[in-house]
Amino acid sequence: MTRLSVPKTYKLYIGGAFPRSESGRTYPVTGPKGEFLAHAASASRKDSRDAVVAARAAQPGWVGASAYNRGQVLYRIAEMLEGRAQQFTDEILAQRGGRRTLAAAEVESAIDAWVWYAGWADKYAQVAGNANPVAGPYFTLSTPEPTGVVAVVAPQDSALLGLVCVVAPAIVSGNAVVAVAAESAPLSAISLAEVLATSDLPPGVVNILTGAPAQIAPWLASHADVNALDLTGAGSLEWVDLEVAAAETLTRVRRPEPGVPPLTLERITALTEVKTVWHPKSTR
Amino acid sequence: MTDSTQIALAPAERAVRLLGGDVTEAALRLQLEGLPGVDGVGLEQRAAALSTRSVKEASKRAALDAIIGLTDLTTLEGADTPGRVRSLAARAVRPDPSDPSTPPVAAVCVYGDMVPYAVDALKAAGARGDGTRGEGDGARGEGAPGDGARRAGVRIAAVATAFPSGRASMGVKLADVRDAVAAGADEIDMVIDRGAFLSGRFGEVFDEIVAVAEACRRRDGGRAHLKVILETGELATYDNVRRASWLAILAGADFIKTSTGKVSPAATLPVTLLMLEVVRDWRRLTGERIGVKPAGGIRSAKEAIRYLVAVAETVGEEWLDPELFRFGASSLLSDVVLQRQRMRSGHYSGADYVAID
């Protein structure tokens, strides 16, 4: 007896749960030759609002966890991803085509990216922070602190690695993220969400929306409760308008860049704010 | 037991009218226990159905303003200070300083000892019209709806009678009430003795409400409005909620209020709906209009709009008046202001743009 395959409907990832889009909309995901793969949820304005609410609720707890603990959670994500490498490779192949070795290499790079950023969790503050030289009977210390809720438009031409390379540096310092995944590759994004959901990452720290970035991003850009906007993958959108909308509510903006962003410390510190504290010197 | 049932209760006007002649514990018990039972499943089904209404754009805008105008902005913490009450009063008068078109709330609700600070703060803000003081003559018959709109300023409600437990001797409770009224409270939120009610000592509860209503009289002849808190979270059954509502109305309540906010569950839509039905029935029976105040646990504008729908569908839109319906809430106002900002600006607002509770 032949067995019919069950086409999966991929849902959103908001607040640690996997809801359907509030709008009820889905869109078909196709492979490189136009063959049908699955349905994915098409996130709406209200889904983006719900995701920001979830991120805002999760952020204080996440930044309150010790840096060591955050690092351990990120390592664990890498472990879980490693365990499901086969599935991710298959999904990348299905969505993008190409050679199997290249797809496997992308999954390996994604795992490595998690590990690389996990290592920075309890180190970036020492490198990016400073004891400042001041002329006076006191000293000041500057330390980077997470910005808060970060909205991210993931690189649109990468199935998995691009998303990992924008989400990992944002959460390592204690931000909570609302990520808009690549429209053409939502399967890898939601499978990554399944990994995150089982990796001790507190619910709401990462929220993943699938659908058209052109529809979702404007609501995130103008949202007053979003503290930073990472437009890395928004190069093909009207990103200047997004930047203008973000400026209205004093949102920090990172402009688009092509391709998959490299692993850099700068990506972590770009989504932090410097806090400087003053301390009197001992008189003896 | 047989002796106590013949004891005459305080001759509250409404009870005399309804029960006729001497108001005795036996007559009261007969009335309350003769009430039909509540269809709990049907009630919850009805409440759920009313929750599904979609309220958009212009209607939503009107609903948000209505919610603000119906709110008793509340702070009932052990850690309350005069400063906190002053900042509460400032928020009550101007809920959203970035938008002058935001209406003021109906009242501030504080502990009795904080009333003088609320009076001073509201006077200083020019939100304390003396025109309506002393006018509160309890439930009124037909006529004069909408006078809430002409009502000058923000009122002051004080919780009394050993809030929230209600566990104190009668003398202490009455002193608590007189103290708050003398300090300038326009409204008194009293708690019933749930222990007595649940033990079936209805007469005791009745007499207590009558005595508190009497203590609400001011020297100048006016009367502070009396809201009776049933604490539905402790009453266990819908039938008890219906009985307690009738009991409070018979004893002279101007408002029946769900909860203190200190017990979970606090206000729920089914319980509020049930109380609204009692008020509707009382209106049909006597023509008098009694207010309802759900309090505690209503935190979002969306939830509050469901209550507005329930009110309009059960007792009619005329009840959407601060004289007849109130929300007891502290964090609700922030969410309503956020939603107003969202509707005004077209983009989502954040907690950084509203006052901290």
Q: Which residue has the higher pLDDT, B220 or B7?
A: B220
Strands B71-74 and A206-209: unpaired
Residue B168 distance to chain A (closest CA, Å) = 40
Strands A26-30 and A138-146: unpaired
The mean-pLDDT minimum among B36-45, B109-118, B119-128 falls in B119-128
Contact by Cβ (8 Å): A179, A152: yes
Separation of alpha carbons A105 and A114, rounded Å? 14
ipTM: 0.84
Catalytic-residue membership of B99: no
Mean pLDDT over B197-204 rounds to: 94
What pLDDT is recorded for position B129?
A: 62
Instruction: For residue range A38-58, list pLDDT tens digits in order.
Output: 999 999 999 999 999 999 999
Instruction: Compute how many other C-beta atoms are within 10 angstroms of the C-beta atom of residue B308.
Output: 24
Catalytic one among B72, B186, B257, B321?
A: B257
Coil, helix or strand for A107? helix
List the domains of chain B with CATH numbers: 13-131+154-353 (3.20.20.70)
Task: Name chain A contacts of B344, Cβ cutoff 8 Å.
Answer: none
Distance, C-alpha A168 to centroid of its chain: 6
Q: Which positions 22-51 of A are in contact with B (Cβ < 8 Å)? A: 49
The band of B281, judged by pLDDT with boundaries at 50, 70 and 90, is very high
Catalytic one among B72, B176, B189, B335?
A: B189
Q: In the predicted model, is pLDDT for residue B11 greater than 80?
A: no
Separation of alpha carbons B72 and B309, rounded Å? 19
Q: In the predicted model, is pLDDT for residue B151 greater than 50?
A: no
Q: Which of B170, B230, B211, B204 is nearest to B28 (CA)?
A: B204
Hey, is the C-beta of B353 within 8 angstroms of any chain A C-beta?
Answer: yes
Mean pLDDT over B27-52 rounds to: 94
Cis upstream peptide for B11 (omega within 30°):
no
φ, ψ for residue A133, nearest 5 deg = -75, 125
Catalytic-residue membership of B123: no
Distance, C-alpha B172 to centroid of its chain: 22
Q: Which positions 210-239 of A are in contact with B (Cβ < 8 Å)? A: 219, 222-226
Distance, C-alpha A117 to centroid of its chain: 12
Give me the helix-helix angle, B202-215 and B25-33, nearest 10°: 110
Which residues have a Cβ under 8 Å from the Cβ of B285 and sit 6 or more positions away? B18
Rounded to whole angstroms, what are the CA distances from B55 to A49, A159, A219, B350? Answer: 18, 40, 21, 22
Separation of alpha carbons B175 and B139, rounded Å? 24
- Give the DSSP letter of residue B319: G
What pLDDT is recorded for position B133?
A: 41
Separation of alpha carbons B62 and B93, rounded Å? 19
Separation of alpha carbons A22 and A253, rounded Å? 27
List the domains of chain A with CATH numbers: 41-280 (3.40.605.10)
Separation of alpha carbons B30 and A185, rounded Å? 70
Question: In chain B, where do the E strands start and end?
Answer: 71-74, 107-111, 155-160, 187-191, 225-229, 255-257, 291-293, 327-329
Contact by Cβ (8 Å): B260, B191: yes
Instruction: Give me the percent of chain A exceeding a pLDDT of 70.
Output: 99
Instruction: For residue range A193-204, list pLDDT tens digits in order.
Output: 999 999 999 999
Q: In the predicted model, is pLDDT for residue B140 greater than 60?
A: no
